[in-house]
Amino acid sequence: MCCGTDAVWLDPDPFSTPVGSGGQDDLWASNECSGASTKVTSLSYNWGSSNTAVATMGPGVGWINGVSAGTSNITTYVTRRADDGTGTAHCVNTNFFGGGSANIISVSITKRTSGTTSSDNAGASTYQSITGTSSLGVRTSSQTTFKACFGGIELVGSVAPSAVTSALQLRRTILSCATYVQGTVPISCSTGDDTSDPAIRDDDPQSGTSGGKIYDLDTPGVKNGNSFQSVYRYRVNFSEYATLPAGTVISTAPLNYYVRLSCRFDASGNASLDTSVAGDNQIGSGATSTTWNLQ
Amino acid sequence: MTNLGTIFRTCALFGLFLSLACLPKAFGECAALDDNSPATQLLAFLRASADLPREQWNVDCLTFAIRHLEYRKPATDTIRVLIGFLDFKRPLSQAERLGFVIHGAATVSNLFPAAGTLFTYGKLALPELVAAIENSASPTVTQNATYTVMEIFRDEPATGIEYLKHQAAVLDRSKATKLREAASIAVQWCGAKHQAECEAALKN
């Protein structure tokens, strides 16, 4: 019996990295007798990329550089020698070839604030359950548990190459924000990570009939206010970006946008938009003033 | 006076050392967590936290660790650790308590972060979620485990109902009852589009 390598494979496979960046892919081997798996990258030879316009190799062994969006086949091999005296008794010289794919990914992000949620967005049913509508934009809700003024926003990440199957995430940061009660009284509003929970995202570029789209939905606003006839104001600046699950940024550029709205609740708790400040109750690109009167 | 002062300072320093030495292990581990923390470190923090009384939990760090385990290669013990936090509810900020929807839509998995992270593991998480429904005495765990099962089947929620019913069919009577109840409450997460299919699946 040959107690040596009996199979090799690449990990990760598919390998993913953004355009203009790079990362380490490794070759692993299993031992026929022990069943143990060992990283054998340092023993491997001739790493190659089938499409160097998409991905190139080096300078380190197994290092893959993302050149442009697309997919390239990656190959390498390791040699099991019969004469190396390290438990390979009864083996014959054999080359074991490992192959896999490298996805060099870019994501461009757009936002939708009118119409309804996309039919291939797997998070859309959660959005509808919460808000009672599939419509986007600044609006009110009369759902019993969500009497609210809110800005319904769908962020769309268009993935290149569109055939990518691994999960990708749209994440969000609050750059600045302000919240006011009784019209003008500020209360604390924390900035930083504001990534939606997975139930209202669609991280699968192939879910539904997406063919290379990922989604995020958000509903910033005010719900179930308990200070009747008092105005609640919310001004917030967001930045949306796309990442691999491990956090590597893959979006070509972040999308900065803002939401500003003011909401009034009547004695029955029903919400209506307050229009006393000019230019209020909007979702837009770029940034907004976060003062209560937008001055 | 000098001697008394020295003794006092020594005792104060000793007391400070003792209090630092006695801080829960999870406290120190939390400070080391960041966006690049490996899954093993996040899990170690969760395990250490699970050993503490809940009033000693650092709730912000727990939320951070749980959310950062999304999509991290889910070994069975990762899933088990997260199941143990299915009833952990993240704290609301002051603005959220006043009604501002400021940190994402008000979903179950927004408030209970372990549910969201388990959802990202997909069908690999189903056996442990079903075990949680069968065995947990906590209604919150049962409800959130059921919710997570339905999220995993969100593209075809009627199949989620059928899955819960099928699991009930292969269990002894007491545990089957809990799974049948779970199938009944799960219909609320089918969404308007799939409501009729789910109700039909429940009746069949």
Please write the tens of the pLDDT for every residue from A65-118. 999 999 999 999 999 877 655 556 778 888 999 999 999 999 999 999 999 999
Subunit contact B104:A181, Cβ cutoff 8 A: no
Q: Which of A177, A208, A219 sits opposite B101 (nearest CB)?
A: A219
Q: Compare CB distances from B104 to A128, A188, A196 and report the shortest one's residue.
A: A196
Q: Note whether A260 and A280 are within 8 A (CB).
A: yes
Q: Does A236 touch chain B (CB under 8 A)?
A: yes
Q: Looking at beta carbons, which residues of chain B come within 8 Å of A167? A: 71, 120
Which of B94, B107, B189 to probe the A interface (max A CBs under 10 A)? B107
Alpha-carbon gap, residue B89 to A23, rounded angstroms? 36
Q: Which two tokens stand for residue B181?
A: 């109840």
Nearest CA in chain A to B96: A222
Task: Tell me if the pTM is above 0.80.
Answer: yes
Are the Cβ atoms of B95 and A126 closer than 8 angstroms? no
Interchain CB contact of A249 with B (< 8 Å)? no
> In 3-state terms, what secondary structure has residue B89?
coil
CB A246 within 8 A of CB A24: no
What is the DSSP annotation of A44-68?
A: -EEEEES-TTTEEE-SSTTEEEE-S
Full pLDDT tens readout for chain B, 204 residues: 445 455 445 544 444 444 444 445 555 577 788 888 888 899 999 999 999 999 999 999 999 999 999 998 777 789 999 999 999 999 999 999 999 999 888 899 999 999 999 999 999 999 999 999 999 999 999 999 999 999 999 999 999 999 999 999 988 777 789 999 999 999 999 988 899 999 999 998
Q: Where are the domains of chain A?
A: 5-105, 113-285
For the residues A119-126, what does the mean pLDDT come to?
94
Cβ–Cβ gap B105/A196 under 8 Å = yes
Give the pLDDT confidence score for residue A138 in this predicted structure: 98
Q: What is the tens place of the pLDDT at every residue in A129-173?
A: 999 999 999 999 998 889 999 999 999 999 999 999 989 999 999
Contact status of A187 with chain B (Cβ, < 8 Å): yes
Return residues 50-109 of A near B (CB < 8 Å): none
Residues contacting B108, CB < 8 A, separation 6+: A199, B115, B144, B147
Q: Residue B170 is which amino acid?
A: V
Question: What pLDDT, on the 0 to 100 scale, is given for residue B11?
Answer: 45
Q: Of the candidates A238, A234, A149, A232, which has an alpha carbon nearest to the alpha carbon of residue A191?
A: A238
For B108, the 3-state DSSP assignment is helix
Give the rounded distance of the alpha carbon of A82 from its chain centre: 47
Residue A48 burial class via C-beta count within 10 angstroms: exposed 0-12, middle 13-18, buried 19 and up: middle
Residue A118 touches partner B, C-beta closer than 8 Å = no
Rounded to an integer, what distance in angstroms lies between the CA atom of residue A110 and that of residue A195?
16
A23 interfacial to chain B (CB closer than 8 Å): no
User: Can you say how many angstroms the Cα of residue A7 is from the centroid of all Cα atoms in its chain?
Assistant: 34
DSSP lists the bridge partners of residue A139 as A150
Range name among A33-37, A108-112, A234-238 with the lowest pLDDT average: A33-37
What pLDDT band is residue A225 in, cutting at 50, 70 and 90? confident
Question: How far is B83 from chain A, CA to nearest CA, in Å?
Answer: 17
What is the enclosing helix (H) or strand (E) of A241?
strand A231-243
Fold of the CATH domain A5-105 = Immunoglobulin-like (2.60.40)
Is A204's pLDDT higher than 70?
A: yes
Greatest extent of chain A over all pairs of C-alpha atoms, in Å: 88
User: What is the predicted pLDDT for the residue at A101?
Assistant: 95
Nearest CB neighbour to A222, from listed B72, B99, B119: B99
Distance of CA B161 to the CA centre of its chain: 22
Q: Which helix (H) or strand (E) holds A232?
A: strand A231-243
Of the partner residues A194, A234, A236, the one whose CB lies closest to the CB of residue B104 = A194
Are the beta carbons of A148 and B95 separated by less than 8 Å? no
Residues facing A186 on adjacent strands: A180
